[in-house]
């Protein structure tokens, strides 16, 4: 063998072809490719199982070592690819440099019916006989992406969500009302213009969008269940969770809201504080001047209990208590100390019991 007869000096033999199998038994990311000119489309002569395995070529942002970087997966059966043979003579060691999007004239199911090579043997891809560039990147009004349609429908299910609305109380106890309002999930702001939409979509329908359309820039992370996080051109963040949300923070959590905050819950709400029983972990609520704290139960009770401690209340001005029914007070001992006049008025009978009774 001469010194010029080695890989890289034996001619650059390249190919285009179609992926027909990606179930690599070694899980190396390899795919079987039927290459134009090198393989016939007749599967009876050259079945898919006889096609050589081809390695994907990773970008320099992936190390290709120990799973660091991007996993070499993404091609599907039916993908058109371009590559080269590292073994120019035998053409059994292929490398794929990239995939070739196009505009197929037939779908995977139509190709499956023909039973020829250079197509997806499973009949799944192409899903549509149309441009291979994602619909979200094209913004084709005649072929709207299904997830975009679903997201528009979702907005209509989150309209007029009510906020807290407390009533006014007078006659001895003045409680100013706190008028509630309603809010809705903001409208979908998708308005991609080609060629500014950068879209990644997985087989099951997970989507990442980075939209650079001038003045309409957006970021979207979408799960095929409908759970999504979107950041609009204004920087507004909209989230929809189609199931539960669980958050665990191993250290501190700080939240600062410069504007208003509304929470509407259809179910129950519980807060467990100081679960470890450590001293000094207090639950403090401080409200600035000019604002009230309103607690209202439309049909139910307000219950407070200090199982091993005191309940302390202080009002720098008046403290008003009004009960439409009976006001019951039961204590081991009652001590009253009025710094001024004490007045008691009963609309009916007034009874005082004691043994002895001392009015001095």
272 three-state secondary structure: coil
Paired sense of beta strands 218-222 and 228-231, if any: antiparallel
Mean predicted lDDT score pLDDT of the chain: 93
pTM of the model: 0.87
Do 140 and 104 share a structural domain? no
- C-beta of residue 120 within 8 angstroms of C-beta of residue 139: no
What average pLDDT does the segment 167-181 reach? 84
CATH of the domain at 70: 2.40.50.260
Name the band, by pLDDT with cuts 50, 70 and 90, for residue 5: low
Kindly state whether residue 171 falls inside one of the protein's structural domains.
yes
Kindly state whether residue 283 falls inside one of the protein's structural domains.
no
Kindly state whether residue 260 falls inside one of the protein's structural domains.
no
- Domain region containing 179: 135-240
- C-beta of residue 236 within 8 angstroms of C-beta of residue 218: no
Q: Which of 152, 67, 222, 308 is nearest to 144 (CA)?
A: 152
Do 92 and 160 share a structural domain? no
Kindly state whether residue 325 falls inside one of the protein's structural domains.
no
CATH of the domain at 219: 3.10.450
Question: Which residue pairs from 135-144 have beta carbons closer than 8 angstroms and sit at least 24 positions apart in sequence?
Answer: 136/190, 136/192, 136/197, 136/199, 136/201, 136/207, 136/209, 137/192, 137/194, 137/195, 137/197, 137/198, 137/199, 138/194, 138/197, 139/190, 139/191, 139/192, 139/193, 139/194, 139/197
Do 165 and 233 share a structural domain? yes
Kindly state whether residue 151 falls inside one of the protein's structural domains.
yes
Residue 31 pLDDT: 98
Kindly state whether residue 314 falls inside one of the protein's structural domains.
no
Residue 4 pLDDT: 61
Kindly state whether residue 193 falls inside one of the protein's structural domains.
yes
Lowest mean per-residue pLDDT among 206-210, 227-231, 318-322: 318-322
The DSSP symbol for 244 reads -
Do 69 and 20 share a structural domain? yes
Do 217 and 167 share a structural domain? yes
pLDDT beyond 50 at 222 = yes
Name the band, by pLDDT with cuts 50, 70 and 90, for residue 153: very high
Do 33 and 99 share a structural domain? yes
Domain-terminating residue out of 189, 216, 240: 240
Contacts of 154 (CB under 8 A, 6+ apart): 185, 226, 240
How many structural domains is the chain composed of?
2
Domain-terminating residue out of 240, 257, 272: 240
Q: Which of 19, 15, 17 is nearest to 120 (CA)?
A: 19
The residue with tokens 């070694």 is 26
pLDDT digits (tens, 9 = 90+) for 89-117: 899 999 999 999 999 999 999 999 999 99
Do 139 and 78 share a structural domain? no
Residue 1 pLDDT: 45
Kindly state whether residue 65 falls inside one of the protein's structural domains.
yes
Mark out the alpha helices in the chain (DSSP H runs): 108-114, 135-138, 146-155
Do 218 and 146 share a structural domain? yes
């Amino acid at each position: 063998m001469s010194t010029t007869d080695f890989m890289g000096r034996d001619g650059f033999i390249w190919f285009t072809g179609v992926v027909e199998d990606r179930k690599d038994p070694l899980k190396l990311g390899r795919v079987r490719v039927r290459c134009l000119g090198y393989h016939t489309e007749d599967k009876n002569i050259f079945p898919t199982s006889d096609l050589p395995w081809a390695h994907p070529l990773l970008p320099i942002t992936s190390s290709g070592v120990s799973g660091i970087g991007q996993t070499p997966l993404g091609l599907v059966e039916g993908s058109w690819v371009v590559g080269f043979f590292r073994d120019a003579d035998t053409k059994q060691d292929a490398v794929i440099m990239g995939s070739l999007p196009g505009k197929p004239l037939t779908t995977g199911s139509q190709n499956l019916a023909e039973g020829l090579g250079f197509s997806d043997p499973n009949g799944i891809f192409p899903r549509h006989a149309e441009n291979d560039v994602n619909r979200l990147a094209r913004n084709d009004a005649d072929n709207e992406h299904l997830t975009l349609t679903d997201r528009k429908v979702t907005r209509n299910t989150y309209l007029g969500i009510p906020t807290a609305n407390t009533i006014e109380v007078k006659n001895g106890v003045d409680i100013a009302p706190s008028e509630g309002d309603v809010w809705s999930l903001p409208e979908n702001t998708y308005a991609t213009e080609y060629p500014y939409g950068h879209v990644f979509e997985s087989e099951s329908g997970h989507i990442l969008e980075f939209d650079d359309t001038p003045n309409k820039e957006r970021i979207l992370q979408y799960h095929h269940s409908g759970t999504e996080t979107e950041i609009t051109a204004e920087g507004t963040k909209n989230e929809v969770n189609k199931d539960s949300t669980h958050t665990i923070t191993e250290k501190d959590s700080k939240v600062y809201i410069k504007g208003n905050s509304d929470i509407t819950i259809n179910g129950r709400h519980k807060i467990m504080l100081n679960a470890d029983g450590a001293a000094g972990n207090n639950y403090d609520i401080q409200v600035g001047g000019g604002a009230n704290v309103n607690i209202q139960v439309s049909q139910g009770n307000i219950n407070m209990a200090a199982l091993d401690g005191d309940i302390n209340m202080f009002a720098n001005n008046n403290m008003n208590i009004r009960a439409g029914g009976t006001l019951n007070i039961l204590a081991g001992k009652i001590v009253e100390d009025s710094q001024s006049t004490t007045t008691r008025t009963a609309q009916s009978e007034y009874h005082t019991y004691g043994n002895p009774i001392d009015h001095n």
